[in-house]
Amino acid sequence: MGWQRYRQGLEVSNHRTIYINDHLKNNFCPNWIRTAKYSKWSFLPRYLYLQFSKAANAFFLFISILQQIPDVSPTGKYTTLLPLMIILTVSGIKEIIEDYKRHMADRLVNKKTVLALESGKCKVNALADEAFLIDDAFYLCPLLALPETAGVQTEKQLLSISGKIECEGPNCHFSCFTGTLYITDRSPVPIGPDQVLLRGTQLRNTQWIIGIVIYTGFETKFMQNAVKSPLKRPKVEKVTNVQIHALFLLLLVMSLVSFVGALFWRRAHSADMWYLKRREEKSHAFGFDILVFIILYHNLIPVSLLVTLEIVKFIQAQFINWDEDMHYKENGVYAVARTSNLNEELGQVKYLFSDKTGTLTCNRMTFKKCSIAGIPYSQSSSRELNDPTLLANIKNGHPTEEYIKEFFILLCVCNTVLPERDGNNIIYQASSPDEAALVKGAKNLGFVFTMRTPYTVTIQAMGEEYTFEILNILEFSSNRKRMSIIVRTPTGQLRLYCKGADTVIYERLSKDSLFMEETLTHLKLFATEGLRTLCVAYADLSEEQYQHWLMDYKSASIVLQNRIQRLEECYDTIEKTTHHMIYQNCQDLGNMLGKENDLALIIDGETLKYAMGIGIKTDFLNLALSCRAVLCCRLSPLQKAEIVDMVKKNVRAITLAIGDGANDVGMIQRAHVGVGISGNEGMQATNNSDYAIAQFSYLEKLLLVHGTWNYFRVTKCILYCFYKNVVLYIIGLWFTFVNGFSGQVLFDNWCISLYNVIFTSLPPFTLGIFEQCCSQKDLLKYPQLYTISQKGKTFNARVFWIECLNALAHSFILFWFPTKMLEHDMVLQHGFTTDYLFLGNFIYTYVVVTVCLKAGLETMFWTKFSHLAIWGSIIIWFVCFTIYSHFWPTIPIAPEMAGQARMILICPYFWLGFFVVPATCLIKDIVWKSIRNTQKGSLPLNSQQLESSKAKGFEFSSVFEKR
């Protein structure tokens, strides 16, 4: 993998220097990317390596190799190799299709044209130091927007610039960048993340831009971020893996038992076995004989399970993608299952961690109420603030008129909103919705923010136009929880406007600030109504104060390391002088949580820090777990992840985290299942999630319907795959008891190896894809049904081994019934006698029928596909059987099978057994099931509602069925 090498290689270099207009000196990695896993040549080795690093596949490869040893394999040389090849081919085709898509996407990106300026010529699709980019173009690599100080006008001038950029080496942090531009004969200019255009960004509202390439290809931040999120393995898979290992042990035990049996048998038959001429009695070593039995029984481990599950889950994921109920019509976004291996985990979620703003609530903000200079203004009827007293106060010269005006001017000036003219209308492009809400609110009241240039802001206040010169913007960050702006007002005054969370603002207010008391009361009042609150404040600055600070700021801003920290310290010094405050708030329009709270715990980030301390962590966890809901406010992204981690580690339950922003990425990755809201706040959460949905409310369908269905489907499919293998291959064990533990197989070799690939391959798919344990309506109506899959009672070690025991019982019946039937050797009408394969084909047919009917018994929801799979499989077997027994000697395989179908299909005994043997097996199942179901009728969850909704009587509904 080239890009990994790049990544590792470049992690080392912390700095990079880029020489402008001197590209020979620059050392870029090629500007192409590859997200595809394989290339044409590396496909086979890499794919095989990946496949055989899975234990099950390695095991089957091992068996295939063993079979090549002459005289060891009782089942022929290629009978394991062939199904293995088929299975690897199927999953290889799936890989190729997926990788082809990636190749196409890569090609699309790599072929994108850019304008590049190099030695005076415009070159297309080449990498150059500087590049012209047209409006709305995508950038192939992060570009550095040359600060205007460079002051270039013509192409020639552009080419004559010389200088260098020093910046940090390639890294994966999207939101930070530090560098310094040195242009000859000019003072160094700091470059921050604001000036960097990342790969994949789109330029808007800009006619042209000149940039310098900083990172290319795999070094771009985008690619550096394209690390595969940690592989999450679902619980069901873990249980299955343990069982596979247990089965492997069982296989060894069976082999050992057979081997010991063989020893005893030989001792008992130590008499002269002249017909066998046992010449090399001792030639086969101990290990050699064991190998025979391992090969004989190896199919106990279902070879097709992995690929079956892969395909089943892939299709389940498609169902999620296709779901129209999870299609957000407004922006045409569908739910996306970004991984398919967690499908069944969706049905087992016990703890749900949700980000609030933007996720639980839909992040649509409106300016609702405000309190200016101690007077609250509100409007109850309309959705937006439109208080007549407020307007009256402005116009009629109320004592607080100045403050009111200052308040709205602040709202218009202190923001990073971009006004975009669309005819007469102004559209505000804001990175956060509350800013937009505030600016819009101000506009409604006559304070219109009309234009922004890099150094000025123009507003229209009550019809008059004012232009503010922007000196510095102290940006918002989630740590600072505030933003400030230093402006020169039209009257020439230096002023700092500050806007942020109430706590941080209050900390920074000077002691003689006005209206502190009143505002605090109103603040509390608004907060209890469930409104989101913000405080704003301003401070007048003196010229010396500002100059002094500016020097500090400049020195801090060109430092490469720790710039952010230094800057923040620096910001802090000036904001502390704030001493006037007004207060306003916004409302969250979302649907608030809180339906069934018996007890809810509310804790904020500061407190949580202590609660997560070593001593009281467990106490806190217990307390939190005892509550119906726990609200954690004002957490840092790390804390979010920590909480998820704590629950995940200490409580053995499946966790789901849902969020929409970059601050949720940690918890999304940490939780068992991560869900991202694909919507407004960028793609960070979505890109790191396992499932992306457009609306929080879609989670209901995703969990209750898809989760439950997928859980039942996957578990049924797994159990069934094990069941069918155990049924057929344990028969080999029974047969050893009558054939002197010699390792002879009862069936034709190819019948054995095609069992999983053809004859019983369809029912697991219909079970895994189309099965529905309950209707969608019921699942949504009775969320209690979710608890069944949530508790995972339909699939655990106990259920698994009960199923295996059941399979054992079936195989017992399936072997001994036909054996007893044929014991007399006189079953054919003309007195013809039969052979071992005759018995084998009897049994094999009964096995196929029983196993298919068992799938039918498991199927609750019979679609046309179920019919096709179940009856089809039986018919396929009969057709194949008939054709197969006509092969020899035209096609030189299966001489023993010649004529079998002909004799078996006319044998009345066969048809008599055809009914009674599967019936005996399955009647037992039905009885067992119905008794268990009847008992389970006392489950609390289904007591009354469900009974009324469904037919009375003992339900065979698999919902209650715990096997």
Q: Which stretch binds another protein (CB under 8 A): 110-118, 358-366, 477-485, 949-957?
A: 949-957
Phi, psi of 163 (to 5 degrees): 160, -170
Angstrom distance (rounded) from CA 166 to CA 487: 30
Inter-CA distances, 312 with 305, 308, 457, 763, Å: 10, 6, 58, 11
Angstrom distance (rounded) from CA 636 to CA 328: 30
Instruction: Check whether 241 is labelled as a binding-site residue.
Output: no
Bridge-based pairing of strands 365-372 and 189-191 is: unpaired
Q: Which stretch binds another protein (CB under 8 A): 377-385, 440-448, 681-689, 827-835?
A: 827-835
The CB-of-438 to another protein minimum distance in angstroms stands at 23
Query: 708-738 vs 797-822: helix axis angle to the nearest 10?
Result: 40
Q: Which is nearer to another protein, 201 or 545 (CB)?
A: 201
Sign of CA dihedral 694, 699, 704, 710: positive
Bridge-based pairing of strands 163-168 and 179-183 is: antiparallel
The CB-of-947 to another protein minimum distance in angstroms stands at 8
Instruction: Check whether 425 is labelled as a binding-site residue.
Output: no
Instruction: Check whether 532 is labelled as a binding-site residue.
Output: yes
200: left (phi over 0), alpha (psi -120 to 50) or beta: left
SS3 57: helix
658, 660, 662, 664 alpha-carbon torsion, rounded to 10°: -20
Sign of CA dihedral 818, 820, 825, 831: negative
Among 130, 475, 955, 961, binds another protein (CB under 8 A): 955
Sign of CA dihedral 403, 405, 406, 412: positive
Phi, psi of 154 (to 5 degrees): -110, 170
Determine if 200 is a binding residue for another protein (CB under 8 A): no
SS3 630: strand
Interactions with another protein, residue window 764-793 (CB under 8 A): 770, 772, 775-776
Angle at 138 between CA 137 and CA 144, to 5 degrees: 100
Q: Which is nearer to another protein, 201 or 934 (CB)?
A: 934
Q: Pattern of binders to another protein over 852-891, x per CB under 8 A?
A: -------xxxxxxxx---------------------xx--
Q: Which is nearer to another protein, 381 or 948 (CB)?
A: 948
Determine if 281 is a binding residue for another protein (CB under 8 A): no
User: Active site includes 588?
Assistant: no
Q: Which is nearer to another protein, 265 or 801 (CB)?
A: 265
The CB-of-899 to another protein minimum distance in angstroms stands at 3
Q: Which is nearer to another protein, 292 or 702 (CB)?
A: 292
Burial class (CB in 10 A: 0-12, 13-18, 19+), 516: middle
Q: Which is nearer to another protein, 43 or 954 (CB)?
A: 954
The CB-of-71 to another protein minimum distance in angstroms stands at 8
Q: Which is nearer to another protein, 191 or 333 (CB)?
A: 333
Interactions with another protein, residue window 302-341 (CB under 8 A): 318-319, 321-324, 330-334
Interactions with another protein, residue window 557-586 (CB under 8 A): none
Query: 708-738 vs 235-268: helix axis angle to the nearest 10?
Result: 0
Q: Which stretch binds another protein (CB under 8 A): 7-15, 232-240, 526-534, 829-837?
A: 829-837
The footprint of another protein on this chain (CB under 8 A) covers a number of residues equal to 97
Residue pair 416/473 in contact (Cβ under 8 Å)? The answer is yes
Determine if 101 is a binding residue for another protein (CB under 8 A): no
Angstrom distance (rounded) from CA 278 to CA 256: 22
Determine if 951 is a binding residue for another protein (CB under 8 A): yes
Angstrom distance (rounded) from CA 606 to CA 618: 18
Residue pair 395/417 in contact (Cβ under 8 Å)? The answer is no
Edge-to-edge strand ranges of the sheet holding 208-213: 121-124, 115-118, 130-134, 208-213, 143-145, 196-197
Q: Pattern of binders to another protein over 595-614, x per CB under 8 A?
A: --------------------
The CB-of-915 to another protein minimum distance in angstroms stands at 8
Interactions with another protein, residue window 71-100 (CB under 8 A): 74
Interactions with another protein, residue window 334-373 (CB under 8 A): 334
Inter-CA distances, 661 with 95, 676, 689, Å: 31, 8, 11
Angstrom distance (rounded) from CA 80 to CA 76: 9
The CB-of-835 to another protein minimum distance in angstroms stands at 4
Instruction: Check whether 277 is labelled as a binding-site residue.
Output: no
Among 185, 207, 824, 948, binds another protein (CB under 8 A): 824
Phi, psi of 205 (to 5 degrees): 55, 30
Residue pair 575/498 in contact (Cβ under 8 Å)? The answer is yes
959 pairs with which residues across the strands?
none
Instruction: Check whether 357 is labelled as a binding-site residue.
Output: yes
The CB-of-170 to another protein minimum distance in angstroms stands at 28
Instruction: Check whether 435 is labelled as a binding-site residue.
Output: yes
Query: 433-444 vs 401-413: helix axis angle to the nearest 10?
Result: 140
Instruction: Check whether 604 is labelled as a binding-site residue.
Output: no
Neighbour tally for 424: CB within 10 Å: 5
Q: Which is nearer to another protein, 114 or 320 (CB)?
A: 320
The CB-of-955 to another protein minimum distance in angstroms stands at 7
3-class SS string, 341-372: CCHHHHHCEEEEEECHHHHHCCCCEEEEEEEE
Q: Pattern of binders to another protein over 247-276, x per CB under 8 A?
A: ----------------------x-xxxxxx
Q: Pattern of binders to another protein over 31-70, x per CB under 8 A?
A: ----------------------------------------
Instruction: Check whether 572 is labelled as a binding-site residue.
Output: no
Which of 129, 289, 323, 355 is catalytic? The answer is: 355
**What is the residue type of 752?**
I
Q: Which is nearer to another protein, 410 or 839 (CB)?
A: 839
Q: Which is nearer to another protein, 765 or 861 (CB)?
A: 861
Determine if 799 is a binding residue for another protein (CB under 8 A): no
Instruction: Check whether 664 is labelled as a binding-site residue.
Output: yes
Q: Which is nearer to another protein, 388 or 895 (CB)?
A: 895
Residue pair 434/534 in contact (Cβ under 8 Å)? The answer is yes
Determine if 743 is a binding residue for another protein (CB under 8 A): yes
Among 90, 802, 821, 939, binds another protein (CB under 8 A): 821
The CB-of-953 to another protein minimum distance in angstroms stands at 4
SS3 495: strand
Interactions with another protein, residue window 649-708 (CB under 8 A): none
Interactions with another protein, residue window 462-521 (CB under 8 A): none
Interactions with another protein, residue window 888-947 (CB under 8 A): 888-889, 892, 895-896, 898-899, 902-903, 907-909, 912-913, 916, 919-920, 923, 926-927, 930-931, 934, 937, 947
Burial class (CB in 10 A: 0-12, 13-18, 19+), 268: exposed
Q: Which stretch binds another protein (CB under 8 A): 529-537, 634-642, 783-791, 833-841?
A: 833-841
Determine if 827 is a binding residue for another protein (CB under 8 A): yes
| DSSP 8-state class, residue 312 | H
Q: Which is nearer to another protein, 465 or 835 (CB)?
A: 835
Among 833, 868, 879, 949, binds another protein (CB under 8 A): 833
Q: Which residues are annotated as a binding site?
A: 355-357, 435, 476, 499, 532, 634, 640, 660, 663-664
Catalytic residues: 355
Q: Which residues are annotated as a binding site for ATP?
A: 355-357, 435, 476, 499, 532, 634, 640, 663-664
Q: Which residues are annotated as a binding site for Mg(2+)?
A: 355, 357, 660, 664
